[in-house]
Amino acid sequence: MRHFNDIDPLTVAQDPRVVASIQDDRKPHKTWYFLIDQDHMIISNATYFTDLETNESEWLHYQIEFPKRGLQWYLDTLEHKFFKTEAEGGLPKGKFYDIAEIDGERLSIDRAFNADGNGNGGGGYSFVTLDRKEDDLAKEYTFTDAFLFQGGLIQIFEDIAAKIKGGQL
C-alpha cells in the first residue's frame, strides 16, 4: 500500500495535485481540498484555529487517501445501496454500512446519524479507509447530508469521478 506524506496546510492551495476545493458549509475558516496523486485520491482539509483561552492560532489539517477508483465506488454505493430499499437492491434493513476492496484497499461507507456533531441528529455519511490507520483507528471523514447534497460536495465528487473515468485524472 502506497504511503503519503501529510499535506502542508500552508501550501495545499497551490499544490499542483489539487483538482478541486470547497469551503466548508458550517465552518467558513475550513477548506476542503481534493487531490489526485497518480492512482490515488487524497481528501484533505485545512482549518485556521484560534484557541480562545490563549488567543494563539495555528493551522490544523487532516487527510485520507484511497485508490482513486474508490471515489466512484463511494458514489455508486450511495446511489445503489443507501438510496434504495432492500427490495430494490439496497442494503438490508438495519445495515448502515458497506465495505468493498478497491485496488487492494478496503473501503467503507457508513451512515452517520449525528454527522453535524451537535446532537441534533443531523445525518451524513462517513468515507472510511479501513487499511489506513492513524492512532490505531481507521482514517475517515464524515460529511453531513446538507454539505453533500445542498452544499455542492456531491457535485464535486461526481465531477472528479467523471474525469477519473474519462481518463482525464
User: Of the CATH numbers 3.30.930, 2.30.31, 1.10.3470, 3.30.70, which one belongs to the domain with range 12-165?
Assistant: 2.30.31
Asked if 46 and 56 touch (Cβ cutoff 8 Å), the reply is no
The set of residues, in sequence order, having a beta carbon less than 8 Å from that of 41 and lying 6+ positions away, is 34, 35, 65, 66, 67, 68, 70, 71, 160, 164
Q: What is the pLDDT of residue 11?
A: 92
Phi, psi of 69 (to 5 degrees): -65, -20
Q: What is the pLDDT of residue 86?
A: 94
10-residue averages of pLDDT along the chain (169 residues): 90 96 88 97 90 87 95 97 94 96 97 76 90 88 93 97 97
Q: What is the pLDDT of residue 121?
A: 61
Per-residue model confidence (pLDDT) at position 23: 93
Spans of all domains in the chain: 12-165
Q: Cα separation of 167 and 146, whole Å?
A: 30
pLDDT recorded at residue 46: 86
What was the pLDDT predicted at 41?
98
pTM value is 0.90
% helix / strand / coil in the chain, to the nearest 5?
A: 25, 40, 35
Cell of 57: 492560532
